[in-house]
Structure 1
């Protein structure tokens, strides 16, 4: 189960990073860049919970920090996505199923605003004033707008893949096979016992009939002997 989580999360994060760097970043949209990495982390965190969301967010952010186009300090985006993944994982539904799209959309809005503010705040601490030069207000508006437009196409698909990997049909089939083997073994053992019992009963019946026949023969013989002696 954990291997499935690791494999799926790594694959989705790498694909999201490649698409964001090679496609979305080259669209030259006004303001912020659509954050496909953030949406992927949100989708996984809503299925795996706060611990899994924090770990996946940290790994995804660190991978984005070390990617060649990155021009900021390593660990900056890892810290942001780690916190976002942890907080988003706290919103995981108890039943595992979302009743409406209002909750995930609210999580996307909060994550877009929170990640932009955290990224700008951490940048200000390390001396990066790029967000202040562009304008935090425009970044917040465009980041929220782009993420909201992209979320319906990303978050449900990521969550569906995560749930499918969580169900693990291979293990279910193997466990079903084991249970069928166990039940078959029990049935075969029961039928074997029945056969043995039937053989034993048959042996008892045959033995009883033979004993009765021998007893009757003895009685006849003794009767004849007694009769001869009487004569």
Structure 2
């Protein structure tokens, strides 16, 4: 990933984790805890795509696994968010922009339910049966509800910030270099507007040079 993506993603993940641990986890809401870290991964994956989404999800999940007061096996949530980031990135539009809010809200609900099921499933493989005692149905409903209520205030903002990094003119890739359009460095190529202007200037300079050369030769013949 590019440097601007890494810096923005790291800042958003750290802020989300701090808010989730120090604020959301202390609300003691019934059922699941609102997953702000999941919403950050969703917002970034909807702009960056499935590869970056998987990498960001793994990094964010691993940070949550080792940050106190984590009480589960290291790598458990990293696997969950890695898979969620990859899957969410697959529905990313080509230009990174969504025309309606329906798709992100559906993605949030599906990701909340899917991440809860994956987390419980991985926990059962390593001997953690706490989801059975709490009640899986209540966890699924509360996770989807809390994340859906929190999504309108977070996901659009995250996507806006991520699109700004994609529009960086110093970046080597992004929307300006996709879809057959001219890239940020298109003026160095042979098919852009800049090359046509340069060709016209070269032609004018060439004709002027030839005219001057002709006048000089005529002077010599005299």
TM-score interval for Structure 1 and Structure 2 normalised by the shorter chain? 0.7 to 0.9
Shift of 1:48: 2.0
Q: 1:98, 1:182 → 2: CA distance? A: 34
Taking a change above 3 Å as real, the CA distance of residues 176 and 146 of structure 1, as seen in their structure-2 partners, is same
RMSD of Structure 2 on Structure 1 (CA): 2.7
Partner of residue 137, structure 2: 137
State whether structure 2 residue 35 is matched by structure 1 residue 35.
yes
Match of 1:61 in 2: 61
Query: How far did residue 129 of structure 1 move?
Result: 2.6
Q: Name the structure with the higher helix share.
A: 1
* In 2: Cα distance, 1:21 partner to 1:39 partner: 15
> C-alpha displacement at 1:113, in angstroms?
0.8
Give the 3 Å change call, closer, same or farther, for CA 5–197 of structure 1 in structure 2. same
Partner of 1:84: 84
Q: Give, in whole Å, the separation in 1 of the partners of 2:48 and 2:14.
A: 18
* 1:169 alignment partner, SS class: coil
2:10 paired with 1:10:
yes
CA distance in 2, matches of 1:196, 1:94: 48
- Deviation, structure 1 residue 170: 3.0
Instruction: Normalising by structure 2, report the TM-score.
Output: 0.81
Cross-structure match for 2:185: 175
Rg bigger for which structure?
A: 1
Q: CA deviation at 1:145?
A: 0.9
Question: Structure 2 matches for 1:115-154, cutoff 5 A?
Answer: 115-154=115-154
Alpha-carbon distance in 1 for matches of 2:127, 2:184: 56
CA contact (8 A) 2:48 2:96 kept: no
TM-score by length of 1: 0.79
Q: Write out per-residue CA displacement over residues 194-231 of structure 1, whole angstroms, 9 at most, x where no aligned residue.
A: 442232232244345x3xxxxxxxxxxxxxxxxxxxxx
> 1:157-176 residue pairs with structure 2 within 5 A?
157-171=157-171, 175=185
1:181 Cα offset (Å): 8.5
Q: Tell me which of 194, 202, 223 is aligned to 2:215.
A: 202
- For structure 2, the 5+ residue unaligned runs are 177-182
In 2: Cα distance, 1:87 partner to 1:175 partner: 32
Shift of 1:116: 1.0
CA–CA distance in 1 between the matches of 2:132 and 2:4?
Answer: 41
Across the two proteins, how many residue pairs are aligned to each other? 209
